């Protein structure tokens, strides 16, 4: 689709986000299954339900005035982030270290989505699509909360435990408080 107007750009962004959400809906159950930490597993499963809602919100935006379908585009960025997450899971390793790696992979996804939703929301506001902007802000808030929850899990337990295995050489190392993804 040629982008001749801001509206064309907005539609393209929403289609990209819709593809990203649907790819994530398929990936999150695998990530949750790979997680050993129960808080992390619960957070990933909760975010799966939220992600399903994010996709529905995009469908609502299309049905409420944009017309057409949110389908028809593949989000290459999310595809790459998911591929990286699969690599991490395939490498294996100590459970607590794997959980720290999963948190890092999940936070990269969250940051990618926050950038996309923030941009789409700004464009919706510019175009005068108040309801779309409100729905996109709601999703952006949920993505931000998911990222903060992952940070809390990392800082309170997962990274602390993983740092004790820093390189198998014994001893201790001072760990930075800001962890996976650095917020």
pLDDT in tens, the chain (183 residues): 678 999 999 999 999 999 999 999 999 999 999 999 999 999 999 999 999 999 999 999 999 988 789 998 999 999 999 999 999 889 888 999 999 999 999 999 999 999 999 999 999 999 999 999 999 999 999 999 999 999 999 999 999 988 987 655 444 444 444 445 454
Residue 1: per-residue pLDDT: 61
Closest CA to 152 of 93, 89, 94, 103: 103
Per the domain annotation, does 116 fall within a domain? yes
Per the domain annotation, does 62 fall within a domain? yes
CA distance 22 to 27: 9
Per the domain annotation, does 179 fall within a domain? no
Largest CA distance in the chain: 61
Residue 169: per-residue pLDDT: 46
Per the domain annotation, does 45 fall within a domain? yes
Per the domain annotation, does 175 fall within a domain? no
Helix axes 6-34, 95-127, angle to 10 degrees: 160
Per the domain annotation, does 106 fall within a domain? yes
Per the domain annotation, does 183 fall within a domain? no
Domain count, the chain: 1
Residue 178: per-residue pLDDT: 43
Question: Residue 78: which domain range?
Answer: 6-164
Residue 170: per-residue pLDDT: 45
CATH number at residue 101: 1.20.1260.10
Per the domain annotation, does 38 fall within a domain? yes
């Amino acid at each position: 689709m040629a982008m001749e107007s801001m509206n064309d750009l907005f539609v393209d962004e929403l289609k990209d986000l819709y593809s990203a959400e649907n790819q994530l809906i398929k990936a999150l159950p695998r990530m949750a299954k790979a997680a050993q930490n129960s808080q992390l597993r619960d957070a990933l499963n909760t975010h799966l339900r939220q992600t399903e809602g994010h996709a529905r919100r995009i469908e609502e935006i299309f049905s409420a005035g944009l017309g057409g379908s949110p389908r028809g585009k593949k989000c290459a960025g999310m595809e790459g982030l998911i591929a990286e997450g699969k690599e991490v899971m395939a490498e294996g390793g100590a459970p607590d270290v794997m959980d720290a790696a999963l948190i890092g992979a999940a936070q990269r996804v969250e940051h990618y989505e926050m950038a996309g939703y923030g941009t789409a929301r700004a464009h919706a506001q510019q175009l005068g699509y108040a309801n779309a902007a409100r729905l996109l802000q709601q999703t952006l808030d949920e993505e931000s909360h998911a990222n903060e929850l992952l940070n809390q899990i990392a800082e309170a337990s997962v990274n602390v435990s993983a740092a004790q295995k820093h390189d198998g050489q014994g001893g201790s190392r001072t760990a930075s408080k800001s962890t996976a993804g650095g917020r």
